[in-house]
Every structure is written in structure tokens, then in C-alpha cells.
A and B are shown apart, each in its own frame.
Chain A
Amino acid sequence: MKEVKHLPCEIVSEILSRLPIESIMQFKSVCKSWFSLIEDPSFVKLQLKRAKSRPHRLILWSNQVRKNWVLLLDRDKEGKDMWKGRDISLEYTFKYEKQDHCLNFIIVGSCNGLLCMVSTFWYGCCSIFYGIFICNPITQECTMLPVGGGRFFNGGDIAEGQIGFGVDSSGKYKVIQIFKKQSFSSDVDDDCGLKGEIITLGESSWREIEIPYQSFYSRDDSWRKRRAIEGMVFMNGVLYCIIQKPTTHEVSDQPIILVFNLDDDKFSTIEFRPSIELPPYYELGLIEIKGSLALHHRCRDDLVFSVICMK
């Protein structure tokens, strides 16, 4: 009588890789051989390959409704436009969080089901940067990245910065952080350039990378002063964000897209076509829509977004 335990590993892998990740995580406790099989890097690869061929899952950030919860949406098997949702608390995930402060999390990037999150905590009326986490909300695994040289502070408060998270063609996950160089001479942050750091998941420290561009994009300084850490858009091994176009003239408020290739760690830029005319006082951002990069912008007091798709 043949039984499951007589099946070769590769068949058991094939079977388990077709199950939802939730079941897979549960089945670690069936027996030791299943446990080690599921933990095996080659199984992780196979599972990822299968998961990618299935209909997409969506992770929504529902911090507004419940703090530090995400909403996972699954496409219903039968109905094409039916979605099933389920809340996942990140409380388990961050159980080793700073005890004396309540941490807040924002998602700044996601890739292959992993989330890159920035955590902050309130100190008086200042929102203070705590650290960057990579977590898998479904398996509840989480790791905090080492503290980099990047200081997302401005007198205690959070300063603006960009954080990008993605995977290169060899399957290595990388995080890049871009922030303003500190200026010690004055209390206003002069444009003394941008500084960047990169880390590969598993490494113990950040490496500095030279950014040949001057500053983040901000059209209307007075309202942009609210400071924020933003996520870069990740698409096919490349990270994108908006910065200020370098110029020889006195003033330039032209945005330009900064492109960072995770395979060779090199920067380049994409210019907007002059035909793109935007109304004044806006917030500019990038998003990915069905594999294309898109620009979204918003007027100051307007809740309406408009989106321009770029091919």
C-alpha cells in the first residue's frame, strides 16, 4: 500500500505548491519532512512561480479604519469580478515592536507579496522615524532592516525622502532610500543634493550610492513642507520616482522621473514630454497601471485625481 510518505519530495512539492499560502504555512506542522520541504528555498521559488500564474491578490491598506491592519483581496475562483476580502492584523507581525511607543506603519512598496513598511512613532507632536521593515502579512514573517545613514528627520520631525523596494533579475530583494543631505549650516534645508543608500535583503549594512541629481520635486514649497516619506514605484526590476529637473537657470520647477535599475545599481532619468500641461498647485506622484507607468496629480484642495498613462 503506497502512501503520501512514500511519494518523492518533488511530487509533494508539486502538490503543496498549488495550495494557497495560508494552507502551506499551516501544513508545516504536519510532520518534519513537510516542514523542511516548505522551508526549502527551492520550494519557495516553485510556490512563487505558481502563485504568480494564479489570479492576482490585492493588498489594501486600511489604516484609516483600523490601525495597522491590511485588507487582503482574493479574486473569486468562479465569478470574474467577484472579490473576497479578509483583514489581516499586523499586530502579530510586529510583536517585537518597540514597547514604550506605539508604532504606526505605512506601506511604501510591495513586491511578490512582500511589503516594505516604514514605521514611525509620535513623540509629542512630532512624528519620528523608527525603521524600515520588510514583512509578509500572510505568513506573518517580518524583518527590520539595519539602521542606515539616512536620517528622515528634520529637527525630530520626519523629513521627506523616497524609499524603493524591488527585486532584481537574480531574485535578490533590494531596498533603496534617498534623502536630502544634511545641512548643518542653517535650519532651512538648502538644496545641497540628495544622498542614497542601498541594501540587499540579508546584508547587515547599507551601501552608499551617488545620486547625480539635486532635489526632490516640490512645486509649492509652503504646502509641501508637511514632509513625507514616499514609496518609489517598482516595475520589472526598475524603481521610479519624481525629482526636480537639474537646471542651470535660477529657478526650475520641472519634474523629471528618476529611474533606478536594480540590476546594475545605476540611475538615469526620463523627461516628461513638454506636451504634458499640469494645473498649478498639485501633488504629483507615480503609480503602476497594468504594467505601465502612470502619473497622477491632484489640485491642492481637490480630492479628484487625474491620471496620465505613459507608455
Chain B
Amino acid sequence: MSSTKIFLKSSDDKTFEIDETAARASETLKNIIDGGCLDGVIPLPNVSSNILPKVIEYCKKHGGDNGSSKKIANGGVDKDKEILPDYDEEEDKREKVRVDELKKWEEEYMDFDQQVLYDLMLAANYLHIKGLLDLTVEKAASMIRGRTPDQIRENFNINSDFTPEEEEEMILIEDEWDDEWAFD
């Protein structure tokens, strides 16, 4: 199956190529393609050239993922399902291998620093790539899970903008929580 090529232009004017099927992983791009507004290169003023290849890599892996890859794997054997009772097992195994492989791929794919994570979250949000947004947001959540508000402020360079009085009230609340967690 050959596919039409789509060209994307990053914020710093570099052009990248992507298969149409892969591009459809992005809701935003899908709307542009289906809307017939495709006129040469699609400019993406919010995505820079150091993050766009990363996004394209994800789309390639997941493009046309809307159930179609599963259908291909099934290869029209649905009818045989009832005749061959051991078919399910085989299919389960293949599915398991597929899931394991995807997990490993995701692990490698997600190995980057905090700066890339921000950019990727923003790009996924802008391009409406739900899977990528889930993946990146989950990683961000795991980075702040179990931290104290102080650690969060330090780690993410956030200034507390509460007045000293408000701050004091907040500390009281935090203290209560410290007591709570002593029961863990």
C-alpha cells in the first residue's frame, strides 16, 4: 500500500516528509487532509525542527493505528475462528508480542530530558495526537508523583506567588498532610 506524501514545515522553516497514513494519527493534520485544504506544505508555527522528527517518529509507529493494524493481523481469519478453537491462543500470543514490542518501543522513545518532554507535550496538544499526549502527560505525572510542593517549585522553577499570610495557612494544611502520611 503506497501512500501520499505530506510535507510539514517547522517553526524554523525546515521541511519534513510524512506518509499520509502516519499523518492521520494527528487529529489536526487529519482535518486538514480531509478538509481538502492541502496545498503543498503544511506550516506548523508551534513546532520546532528539533521536536518535529520526534513527533513524526511517533506518528509513523501509530499512524493508521485506528484498528486497521489489528485488522491486518487478523487477516480475514475471523470466519475460521469458530472452526479452529486453538486460533484464539495463537492470536493472543501474537497480540502479546505486539504489545510487548510496543512497550519496549515506547520505553526507548520516551527516553529524553525534561525540555523535550515540554515541547513534545505542547506539540501533541497542538496537533491533537491523543496517544502521544497521554504518554507524555503520564510521564510528567510520574515525575511529580510523591513530591512535596517545595520540591515541585524547586524542580520546575515555579515561584510561590502567595502572600506570607496565605503561605502560612498553606503550611498548616501541609502539616496536616504530613501527619496523615505517617500512618503509611
Contacts and interface: CB of A to CB of B under 8 A. Distances in A.
Contact of A5 (B115, B121, B158, B162): B158
Interface in A13-39: 14-16, 18-20, 22-23, 25-32
Contacts of B147: 23
A40 interface: no
Given A27-B149, A88-B180, A3 B141 contact: no
Contacts of A3: 118, 156-158
B148 A26 contact: yes
Max count, chain A CB within 10 A of own CB: residue among B121, B145, B159? B121
B162 to A, nearest CB: 7
A86 interface: yes
Interface string B53-92: 0000000000000000000000000000000000000000
A11 interface: yes
Contact of A18 (B118, B141, B161): B141
A7 interface: yes
Contact of B158 (A14, A19, A22, A30): A30
A10 interface: yes
B118 A6 contact: yes
Interface in A43-62: none
B183 A86 contact: yes
A2 interface: yes
Contacts, number: 88
Nearest to A20: B145
Interface string B142-184: 0011111100110011111110000100110110110011011
Max count, chain A CB within 10 A of own CB: residue among B140, B147, B184? B140
A8 B145 contact: no
Contact of A26 (B162, B174, B184): B174
B122 A30 contact: no
Contacts of B118: 2-4, 6-7
Interface residues of B, number: 37
B141 A15 contact: yes
B144 A15 contact: yes
A3 B146 CA distance: 20
Contacts of B145: 19-20, 23
Contact of B125 (A11, A32, A92): A11
Max count, chain A CB within 10 A of own CB: residue among B145, B162, B180? B180
A303 interface: no
B55 to A, nearest CB: 15
A72 to B, nearest CB: 10
A268 interface: no
A305 B141 CA distance: 44
Contact of B176 (A1, A2, A20, A140): A140
A22 B122 contact: no
B29 to A, nearest CB: 19
B135 to A, nearest CB: 11
B119 interface: yes
Contact of A19 (B141, B156, B177): B141
B42 interface: no
Interface string B12-52: 00000000000000000000000000000000000000000
B138 interface: yes
Contacts of B140: 15
A27 B152 contact: yes
Contacts of A7: 118, 121-122
A220 interface: no
A8 B133 CA distance: 13
Given A15-B141, A18-B137, A2 B180 contact: no
Contacts of A15: 137, 140-141, 144
Contacts of B170: 28-29
Given A3-B118, A26-B174, 16 more contacts: A5-B158, A6-B118, A8-B122, A10-B125, A11-B121, A15-B140, A16-B141, A18-B137, A20-B145, A26-B177, A29-B149, A29-B170, A29-B174, A30-B158, A87-B183, A140-B176
27 contacts: A2-B115, A2-B118, A2-B122, A5-B156, A7-B121, A7-B122, A8-B125, A11-B121, A11-B125, A11-B133, A14-B133, A14-B137, A15-B141, A15-B144, A22-B181, A23-B144, A29-B149, A29-B160, A29-B167, A29-B171, A29-B173, A29-B174, A30-B149, A30-B153, A31-B153, A86-B183, A87-B183
The 10 tightest CB contacts between A and B, nearest first, are: A29-B170, A18-B141, A4-B156, A2-B118, A14-B137, A15-B140, A30-B149, A29-B149, A32-B161, A15-B141
